[in-house]
């Protein structure tokens, strides 16, 4: 845990967190920009078919995170090397955050990010909505680090480990509900 | 005579409650659904984006 208590580095932990968060937001925005560019490929597909596909993808994502279906999804099954943080801590935290924020440089342990990416591709909500969703992805990923930093608890990892399954399932159900309501309501 | 409340322990409990991972997830979920209900497309996608990022909690 990068933001757990017991920090001994010569750089203030808050600074590292700020730079890490900036990297996450930038990485998420970059991935969203790529999605926005690629979303033009979905333009010829009729809107009713795109709507059906978005809801189907969200439903499949929720089913997967609830353990109802088993489905292997593409991911970059590697950890970001720890050497990234070895020498220059602030620059390393920026790079580490950026790589995590793109969502394509390491493991993806939940299905909602896939639902988000495919939903943005198919929905084509416009450049502002797409870029903001990407920045929010980075910010959402940073939120857990911010909470870990603020908690100052040595038991944080155990608590997060207990809560993560609930968060993953709740996020998947909320994404399904919200996207179905937005497109069918 | 009752013992005075243990202020550091109370502060610790409050901090743990305020930094629990579940409430932000619930808030983002509610925001996403409420935004969808109001047809607020940009806010809905932003909320789903934040939820997707937050669902990857625990990696750092």
- The ranges assigned to domains in chain A are 13-184
User: Which residues 10-39 of B are in CB contact (within 8 Å) with A?
Assistant: 12, 15-16, 18-22, 24-26, 28-30, 32-33, 35-37, 39
Cα–Cα dist A178/A175, whole Å: 5
Domain that holds residue B28: 21-60
Record the pTM.
0.92
Question: Which residues of chain A have a CB within 8 Å of the CB of B25?
Answer: 166-167, 170-171
Task: Check CB contact under 8 Å for A147 and B32.
Answer: no
Cα–Cα dist A185/A179, whole Å: 9
Higher pLDDT: B56 or B13? It is: B56
Task: Check CB contact under 8 Å for B50 and A161.
Answer: no
Convert A14-35 to b/e letters by CB count within 10 Å (16 or more is b). eebbbbbbbbbbbbbbbbbeeb
Q: How many domains, in total, are found in chain B?
A: 1
Structure tokens at A166: 């609930």
Question: Which residues of chain A have a CB within 8 Å of the CB of B47?
Answer: 136, 178
Work out the number of other CB atoms within 10 angstroms of the CB of residue A159. Answer: 19
Cα–Cα dist A117/A105, whole Å: 15
The predicted-structure confidence for A5-35, as pLDDT tens digits, reads as follows 666 767 788 999 999 999 999 999 999 999 9
Question: Is the reported ipTM for this assembly greater than 0.85?
Answer: yes
User: Does any domain span residue B16?
Assistant: no
Mean pLDDT of the region B27-47: 98
- A23, A85, B11, B36 from B44: Cα distances, Å: 23, 35, 35, 6
């Amino acid at each position: 845990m990068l933001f757990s208590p017991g920090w001994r580095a010569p750089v203030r932990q808050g600074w590292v967190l700020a730079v890490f968060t900036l990297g996450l937001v930038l990485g998420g925005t970059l991935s969203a920009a790529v999605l926005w560019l690629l979303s033009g490929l979905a333009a010829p597909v009729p809107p009713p078919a795109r709507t059906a596909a978005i809801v189907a993808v969200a439903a499949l994502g929720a089913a997967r995170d609830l353990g109802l279906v088993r489905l292997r999804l593409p991911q970059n099954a590697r950890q970001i090397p720890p050497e990234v943080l070895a020498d220059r801590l602030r620059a390393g935290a920026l790079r580490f955050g950026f790589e995590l924020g793109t969502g394509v440089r390491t493991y993806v342990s939940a299905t909602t990010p896939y639902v988000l990416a495919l939903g943005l591709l198919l929905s084509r909500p416009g450049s502002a909505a797409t870029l903001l969703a990407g920045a929010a992805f980075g910010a959402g990923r940073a939120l857990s680090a911010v909470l870990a930093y603020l908690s100052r608890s040595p038991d944080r990892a155990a608590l997060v480990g207990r809560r993560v399954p609930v968060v993953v399932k709740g996020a998947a159900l909320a994404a399904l509900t919200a996207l179905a309501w937005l497109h069918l309501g | 005579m009752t013992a005075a409340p243990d202020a550091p322990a109370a502060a610790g409990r409050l901090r743990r409650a305020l930094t629990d991972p579940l409430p932000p997830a619930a808030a983002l979920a509610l925001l996403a659904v409420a935004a969808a209900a109001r047809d607020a497309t940009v806010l809905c996608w932003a909320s789903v984006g934040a939820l997707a990022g937050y669902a990857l909690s625990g990696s750092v």
